Every structure is written in structure tokens, then in C-alpha cells.
């Protein structure tokens, strides 16, 4: 699946840990603090005048004989007698919580006790331990140079490569919940000094992803791209439906963002954006890929900033410039690509023709104190062929652990020896960001359409590195791609599909931690699945629990109504809607009927925790043909 020929081109970033090699300290001291005691070369010009600390058989008048476990000094016969050379450890790599991660919900049991994970330097010392420091006193601009003058929590002598505090970290106990928190660590050798401190990482303790009003309960944004606007008079205007989470969540939309242009299809794509302006409130992205934009059907993308969402609020708009370029066909939170403390957004325009017919393009917009107005980077393939690059986009987390969030872009129309084999391009984050791809994955064969769906997978296998999931509906496949220090896309596993699949992998999403076991989970949809073999579609969503070993079958499965052709699983997402600390799964069925009204659409919320799903909550559309559930907001990386 990985294009080895492409990877041979020296475009892969080679990540070399900034570490100091183990070295020998030849400065020798006896119990009095003297040095170089070989027969009178120390400070008093006399032989060593005191037994060395820990020595077992030298005398007060002879040079050290090398069996006391200290460093060899002049006259010593070397380390073969049991001496241990001091080792200076390299700087460990902090992995999780990664920059921008939202850790927990205020009613959950794990929100204020995140698990810190790191990777030792390649030149780690035997038996090294780790010191961790945590503070909230750094500032968002320039956090990477924070001096940690005020330390709120400190953990010393930690053994292993992870640590979960016994006590909760501090955070406000009233809305808006949560607080930005910073951490760093160093390695300490038992036979030498400690390393330098690692780079600083930040996360939001006690905050739920996609919590637009910061009340501790995640919120749900869903798209109804064919809903008629202005009371049913504007055809295909579309809309975005926002449901505010609550412990007693109901089925009534709190805010509806209506389209105003005929055929603009607002709500064709939606996504959680993270925290674009670092104000503590989660933000969303809402697309209208057929909106006028700056040209005919060029497309618009709206940034919905958190705090007090309202239907008549003014939101930042990003506009496409190429006629019928489908700017906004795909949108996703990008994570913090340049590690400046602000979340970013990536937008796909698969019909953009600036480099050729249907070549496609993607755009990276950087967050900051004020909304972005222009793309910070344009992403594109090397070819001028009709790849439809940007048909899917996603922030995939920090797959190589360098502190910068990474991106993936799908090109379902890529032809590599066969038609529509599909490709996924991976771009490593950085400051500055390099808009040339670093790793590419190719589909399995003709019509495979690899990259039709892409999503982060959190840390599926628990090694601290971000993983991601890609769909290949042409072969009814979905693949877990594992992150690692030297990520090259070659470590991946097929998620075993259930029976009756047809376009498995059409929709994929990070599901957070549905069962609360500490591993991150993923969900995959197939809107055309047929449970009973009668060719009438039922649809399904399959959940896979995170684990170092990929499961041999879906961990659990939910199928749509038998023979109803509702396209159940056409869109999938996740959120902690009731704020209980367990992530819930959202599944869209855009062709569902409500009260015999055709194709109103539905989003079903499947409750996390054990036992799974409980009594699912149905969120139904209200107008014939609205197709609510065509899109469901994803979790940002």
C-alpha cells in the first residue's frame, strides 16, 4: 500500500532526537573531594589520603585499584574490575497528552488525571528514571520557551515510559470548565546527571472536545445539506444543526444555521475544529461546498467560534475562488500543525482545476487570536492528473511525535497503474510548514478509492504515538495506520469487516474512548451494507476497541433498520454528549423517514460506557428531503 518508489525520494523528514550521547566523565574524586590521585597529582601533591567512598580494598596511601565501582582514575586498571562509567541520558520525547489535546469531562472519572506518555531517547541510559513538571502559568504565544517558574505538580524518579497522577490536576469547578496546562520532562541517569528538559507540550485538562459552550458536555453538529431554507422556500439551501450536550440530552436542535442561497448545500460537511483562538471554548467548521464563494459554485466554509452560539451570530467565512471547485467538500480540524498554541483547520477542494482538470487542492488555515482570512499553505499532489485531491482531509494527530500535528489528504481518483486506485498523502507538521507531502499510501487496485474517508484514531495501540484510519470503500476495507518515531506509513492493519458489507470504509471516525479502558477506539460506516442478502440496503456502523493487537472482528456492531435503505452509517462521528466521561458514537442515516415524511434524515446517538449503546437517542430532520445526518462532526485530533 505504501509507494516505495516515492518514499525513496528524500522527502521523508528524518527525525533525530536532540540528545547527548552517553559519555564518560574522567574527572575523579576521592572522599575528600580531591582528584587525580595517582601518586601525588591531586591538589595536595600527595598520594590519596583517604579511602574512596564505597572502596572495598584500596588503602589510604595507594592509588585506587579499580574495584570500588567508581570511575577509573590514574593508576586504576580500567572498568573490567567492576567500575561503572557514568552515562548522560538523551532528552526524552514527550508524546501524550499531545499539543492541543482535550483531556476529559468534568463529570467523568478520568478527566483530571491524564496519562503522560513519552519515548526515551535512542541513547537512553540503563536504569534511567524521569522527572515530570506540570504548570498552568505559561502563555499561549511562546509557550515553548516557558521557564516553569511556578510548578503546580512535580513527579520525580518515575520508572517506565508513562505516568498517571494519583491526584487530580487543578481546573475550575464551574463553567467554563477546564484549563490549559503545560508539561515537560527529563531523563535522569543513576550513574550520571539528568538530561536537559524536553520541549514543552500543552493540553486542556478537564475539557471535552467539541464543547462549544464549555459547560463540560460535548455538543453535536450535524449537516442537512438538502433542507429547504427560509421556511421551505429556498431549494437545497441546506443547514447545520447544533445540539447542545447535557446529562439529560434531548432531541431538539438548539441552533439551526440555515443556508441562504439556492443549492449551496450548507451542511454537506461539518467538523470539530479544536480551539482556534485558544479561548477555552471549542469551535466548529460548517461547509457549503456549492455556495457562491468568490465565483460560481466556488464554495464557502464557516468557522463557528465557541462561547454563545446563536443562529444569527456572525461567523468567519472562508471562500473558494475556483468555479465549481467544491471548496469545502471535505473539512476537518487539523490540530496544531505549527505548534503555536492555536488549533488549525484543513479544507478540501477536489474539483479545483488550478493545476489541471479535477486535480484538486487542499488548504491549511492557521488559528490565532483573530480568524484567518487566507490559507497559510496550499496542498497539492505532484501530478496534473485528475486525482480529485482533497476528496477527504483530516488532521491525524502527531504521528511521529515531534510536537507538530500532521495532516492527511485523500485523492480517490488517483490512477497508479489502475483507474481510481486512490491515494492518501501525509504531510508532516512543522514551523514553518512544508506543503510538500512526506509519505504516500496507494490503494489496492482498480476502483479501490483509497482515501475516500480519513480520520484520526487517537492512540489506538497505547504506545503514545497518534494513529489514523483510512477507508477504501472500493474493496470494502478500512486500515489502521500506526504512528511511530520513524513513521513511514508501512505499519498498518486492516480492520476486519463484518458480514454483508458493500462499501465498508465510506465513513470513518475517531471514537474517543467508548468503553473507558484507556485505549482510543475507531468507528467505521457502510451505508450500503445488506444484512440479509436481499440486495436492499440496511447500513451499519462497526466499532473497534483500541488495543496493541487489532481485533479479529468488530468489537461491537449496529445495523440500520432492515430493508429500509436509510443509508445508516453514511456519516459517523463521536462526542461525550452526556458528559459522563465515556465517548458516545453518532451515526447518520440521511435517507431516514420521520413520521412518514420522506428523507428527513436522522442522527442516532449511541451511548458509550458498559453496557454499550443503552437506549440510543434519535435526532430527526423536520422537512422532506432535508437529509439530516449526511454529515456528523468529527473529533479534532
Same domain, 398 and 372: yes
Tell me if 228 is assigned to some domain: no
The per-residue pLDDT for 228 is: 94
And the C-alpha cell for 457?
A: 484514531
Per-residue pLDDT tens digits for 507-566: 999 999 999 998 999 999 999 999 877 878 899 999 999 999 988 899 999 999 877 889
Examine the domain organization and report whether 55 and 98 are in the same domain.
no
Classify 345 as helix, strand or coil. Answer: strand
212 inside domain: no
Helices (H), 527-612: none
Residue 223, in any domain of the structure: no
Residue 6, helix vs strand vs coil: helix
pLDDT tens for each residue of 135-182: 999 999 899 999 999 999 999 999 999 999 998 898 887 888 889 999
As beta bridge partners, residue 588 has: 571, 603
Determine the pLDDT at residue 107. 62
**In whole angstroms, what is the distance from residue 54 CA to residue 84 CA?**
13
Pairing relation of β-strands 316-319 and 330-335?
Answer: unpaired
Per-residue pLDDT reduced to its tens digit, 559-607: 998 778 899 999 999 999 998 889 999 999 999 998 888 999 999 999 9
- Answer yes or no: do 103 and 73 share one domain: no
Q: What share of the chain is helix, strand, coil (3-state, %, to 5)?
A: 0, 30, 65
Query: Which residues, listed in sequence order, are joined to residue 118 by a DSSP beta bridge?
Result: 94
Sequence-distant contacts of 3-12: CB under 8 A, at least 24 apart: 3/416, 3/423, 3/440, 3/441, 3/442, 6/440, 7/439, 7/440, 7/488, 7/489, 11/436, 11/437, 11/438, 12/438, 12/439, 12/488
pLDDT at position 212:
94
Which positions ≥6 away from 217 have C-beta within 8 Å? Answer: 105, 208, 211, 244, 245, 246, 247, 249, 576, 577, 578, 579
* CA gap 131, 133 in Å, rounded: 7
- Domain-embedded: residue 449: yes
**Do 46 and 142 lie in a common domain?**
no
Q: Say yes or no: 134 and 60 in one domain.
A: no
In angstroms, rounded to a whole number, what is the distance separating the alpha carbons of residues 571 and 567? 9
Taking 70 as the threshold, does the pLDDT of residue 364 lie above it? yes
Least confident span in 8-12, 274-278, 306-310, 491-495: 8-12
Confidence (pLDDT) at 314: 67
The rounded distance, in Å, linking the Cα atoms of 64 and 51 is 9
Same domain (yes/no): 29, 72: yes
Average pLDDT, stretch 397-423?
95
User: For residue range 4-51, what is the model confidence (pLDDT) as tens digits?
Assistant: 333 333 332 222 233 333 332 333 333 334 444 444 434 444 444 444
Taking the mean position of all CA atoms in its chain, how far away is CA 41? 59
pTM of the model: 0.86
List the 162-163 sheet strands across, edge first. Answer: 93-96, 116-119, 162-163
Between CA 486 and CA 451 the distance in angstroms is 22
Question: Which residue has cell 477536489?
Answer: 350
Cα 387 to Cα 452: distance, rounded to the nearest angstrom: 12
372 and 432 share a domain? yes
Whether 67 shows a pLDDT value over 90: the answer reads no
Does 270 share its domain with 302? yes
d(CA 404, CA 421): 30
Domain of 387, CATH number, reads 2.130.10.130
Percent of the chain exceeding pLDDT 90 equals: 71
- pLDDT surpassing 70 at residue 72: no
Q: Is the pLDDT of residue 299 over 70?
A: yes
- Domain membership flag for residue 172: yes
Please tell me the predicted confidence (pLDDT) of residue 585.
Answer: 98
Mean pLDDT of 408-418: 91
The pLDDT assigned to 103 comes to 78
Give the residue from 165, 189, 205 where a domain finishes: 205
Q: Which residues pair with 389 in a beta bridge?
A: 360, 411
Low-confidence winner among 82-96, 147-161, 405-419, 593-607 (lowest mean pLDDT): 82-96
Q: Are 529 and 554 in contact (CB under 8 A)?
A: no
* Distance (Å, whole) CA 508 – CA 495: 11
Task: Tell me which residue range forms the domain holding 336.
Answer: 263-632
Helices first, then strands: H and E counts in the chain? 1, 36
Is the pLDDT at 304 greater than 90? The verdict is yes
Phi, psi of 24 (to 5 degrees): -105, 130
Q: Which residue, 186, 205, 224, sits at the end of a domain?
A: 205
477 has a pLDDT exceeding 90: yes
Average pLDDT over residues 438-465: 96
The verdict on 180 and 66 lying in the same domain is: no
- Rounded distance, CA 375 to CA 370, Å? 14
- For the residues of 175-222, what is the DSSP string, one character each? SSP-EEEEEEEEEE-TTS-BPPPPPPEEEEET--TT-TT-SSS--EEE
pLDDT of residue 408: 99
Q: Which residues pair with 477 in a beta bridge?
A: 472
What is the phi/psi pair of residue 144, to 5°?
A: -70, -15
Question: Is residue 60 included in any domain, yes or no?
Answer: yes
Task: Write out the DSSP string of 156-178.
Answer: EEE-SSEE--SSPPP--SSSSP-
pLDDT score, position 384: 85
CA triple 442-444-445, angle to 5 deg? 110
Model confidence band, residue 59 (pLDDT cutoffs 50, 70, 90): very low
Q: Which CATH number goes with the domain that contains 196?
A: 2.60.40.10
Q: What's the pLDDT band for 83 if we cut at 50, 70, 90?
A: low
Q: Are residues 73 and 153 in the same domain?
A: no
Mean of the per-residue pLDDT values of the chain: 87
Picking from 34, 59, 85, the residue at the C-terminal end of a domain is 85
Question: How far is residue 536's CA from residue 523's CA, in Å, rounded to a whole number?
Answer: 23
Using CA atoms, how far apart are residues 429 and 20, in angstroms rounded to an integer? 25
Residue 555 CB coordination number (10 Å): 17
Residues 507 and 601 in one domain: yes
Q: Is residue 527 part of a domain?
A: yes
The DSSP code for 485 is T
Q: What is the H or E stretch that residue 8 is in?
A: helix 4-8
8 A C-beta contact, residue 347 and residue 410: no
- 109 pLDDT tier (thresholds 50, 70, 90): low
For residue 132, name the pLDDT band (cuts at 50, 70, 90): very high
| 605's grid cell | 446517538
| Overall domain count for the chain | 3
Across 486-504, average pLDDT: 95
Residue 196 forms part of a structural domain: yes
pLDDT at 70 over 60: no
* pLDDT the model gives residue 185: 98
- What mean pLDDT do residues 306-318 have? 82
Range picked from 228-232, 342-346, 597-601, 606-610 for highest mean pLDDT: 342-346
% of the chain residues with pLDDT over 70? 85
Phi, psi dihedrals of residue 7, rounded to the nearest 5°? -70, -20
Assign 474 to helix, strand or coil: helix
Within 10 angstroms of residue 370's Cβ, the number of other Cβ atoms is 9
107 shares a domain with 73? no
Alpha-carbon gap, residue 196 to 148, rounded angstroms: 14
Show Cβ contacts of residue 160 under 8 Å, excluding neighbours closer than 6 positions. none
Q: How confident is the model at residue 82 (pLDDT cuts 50, 70, 90)?
A: low
The HSE-up count of residue 191 (CA atoms within 13 Å, CB side) is: 16
Q: Which of 65-69, 127-131, 545-549 has the lowest mean pLDDT?
A: 65-69
Give me the residue label for grid cell 484538486: 360
Q: Is 45 exposed, middle or buried (0-12, 13-18, 19+ CB in 10 A)?
A: exposed
Amino acid at each position: 500500500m505504501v509507494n516505495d518508489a516515492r518514499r525513496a525520494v528524500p522527502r521523508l523528514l528524518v527525525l533525530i532526537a536532540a540528545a547527548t550521547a552517553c559519555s564518560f566523565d574522567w574527572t575523579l574524586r576521592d572522599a575528600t573531594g580531591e582528584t587525580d590521585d595517582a601518586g601525588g597529582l591531586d591538589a595536595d601533591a600527595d598520594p590519596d589520603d583517604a579511602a574512596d567512598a564505597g572502596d572495598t580494598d584500596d588503602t589510604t596511601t595507594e592509588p585506587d585499584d579499580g574495584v570500588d565501582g567508581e570511575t577509573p582514575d590514574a593508576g586504576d586498571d580500567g572498568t573490567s574490575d567492576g567500575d561503572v562509567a557514568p552515562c548522560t541520558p538523551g532528552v526524552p520525547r514527550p508524546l501524550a497528552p499531545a499539543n492541543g489535546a482535550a483531556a476529559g469531562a468534568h463529570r467523568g472519572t478520568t478527566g483530571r488525571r491524564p496519562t503522560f506518555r513519552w519515548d526515551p531517547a535512542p541513547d537512553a541510559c540503563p536504569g534511567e528514571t524521569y522527572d515530570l513538571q506540570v504548570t498552568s502559568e505559561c502563555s499561549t504565544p511562546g509557550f515553548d520557551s516557558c521557564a516553569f517558574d511556578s510548578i503546580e505538580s512535580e513527579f520525580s524518579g518515575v520508572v517506565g515510559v508513562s505516568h498517571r497522577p494519583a491526584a487530580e490536576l487543578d481546573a475550575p469547578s464551574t463553567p467554563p470548565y477546564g484549563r490549559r496546562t503545560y508539561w515537560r520532562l527529563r531523563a535522569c541517569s543513576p550513574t550520571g546527571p539528568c538530561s536537559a528538559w524536553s520541549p514543552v507540550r500543552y493540553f486542556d485538562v478537564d475539557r471535552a472536545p467539541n464543547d462549544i459552550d464549555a459547560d463540560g458536555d460535548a455538543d453535536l453538529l450535524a449537516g442537512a445539506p438538502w433542507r429547504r431554507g427560509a421556511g421551505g422556500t429556498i431549494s437545497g439551501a441546506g443547514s447545520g444543526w447544533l445540539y447542545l450536550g447535557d446529562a439529560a440530552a434531548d432531541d431538539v436542535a438548539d441552533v439551526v444555521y440555515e443556508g441562504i442561497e439556492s443549492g449551496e448545500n450548507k451542511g454537506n460537511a461539518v467538523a470539530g475544529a479544536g480551539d482556534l483562538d485558544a479561548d477555552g471554548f471549542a469551535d466548529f467548521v460548517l461547509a457549503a461546498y456549492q455556495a457562491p464563494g468568490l465565483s460560481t459554485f466556488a464554495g464557502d466554509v464557516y468557522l463557528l467560534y465557541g462561547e454563545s452560539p446563536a443562529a444569527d451570530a456572525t461567523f468567519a467565512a472562508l471562500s473558494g475562488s475556483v468555479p465549481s471547485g467544491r471548496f469545502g467538500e471535505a473539512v476537518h480540524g487539523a490540530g496544531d500543525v505549527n505548534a503555536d498554541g492555536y488549533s488549525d483547520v484543513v479544507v478540501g477542494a477536489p474539483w479545483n482545476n488550478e493545476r489541471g482538470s479535477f486535480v484538486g487542492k487542499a488548504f491549511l488555515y492557521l488559528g490565532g487570536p483573530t480568524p484567518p482570512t487566507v490559507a497559510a499553505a496550499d496542498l497539492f499532489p505532484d501530478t496534473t492528473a485528475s486525482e480529485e485531491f482533497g476528496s477527504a482531509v483530516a488532521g491525524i494527530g502527531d504521528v511521529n511525535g515531534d510536537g507538530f500535528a500532521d495532516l492527511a489528504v485523500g485523492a480517490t481518483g488517483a490512477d497508479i497503474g489502475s483507474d481510481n486506485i486512490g491515494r492518501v498523502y501525509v504531510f508532516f507538521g512543522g514551523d514553518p510548514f512544508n506543503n510538500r507531502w512526506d509519505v504516500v499510501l496507494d490503494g489496492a487496485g482498480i476502483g479501490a478509492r483509497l482515501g475516500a474517508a480519513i480520520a484520526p484514531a487517537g492512540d489506538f495501540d497505547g504506545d503514545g504515538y497518534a494513529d489514523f484510519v483510512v477507508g477504501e470503500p472500493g474493496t470494502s476495507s478500512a486500515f489502521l495506520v500506526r504512528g511511530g518515531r520513524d513513521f513511514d506509513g508501512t505499519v498498518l492493519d486492516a480492520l476486519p469487516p463484518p458480514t454483508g458489507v458493500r462499501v465498508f470504509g465510506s465513513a470513518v471516525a475517531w471514537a474517543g474512548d467508548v468503553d473507558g479502558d484507556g485505549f482510543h477506539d475507531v468507528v467505521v460506516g457502510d451505508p450500503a451494507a445488506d444484512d440479509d442478502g436481499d440486495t436492499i440496503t440496511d447500513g451499519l456502523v462497526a466499532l473497534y476497541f483500541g488495543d496493541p493487537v487489532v481485533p479479529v472482528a468488530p468489537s461491537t456492531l449496529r445495523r440500520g433498520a432492515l430493508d429500509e435503505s436509510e443509508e445508516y452509517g453514511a456519516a459517523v462521528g463521536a462526542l461525550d454528549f452526556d458528559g459522563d466521561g465515556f465517548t458516545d458514537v453518532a451515526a447518520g442515516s440521511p435517507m431516514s423517514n420521520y413520521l412518514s415524511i420522506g428523507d428527513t434524515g436522522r442522527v442516532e446517538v449511541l451511548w458509550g460506557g458498559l453496557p454499550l449503546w443503552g437506549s440510543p437517542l434519535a435526532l430527526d430532520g423536520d422537512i422532506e428531503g432535508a437529509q439530516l445526518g449526511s454529515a456528523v462532526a468529527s473529533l479534532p485530533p
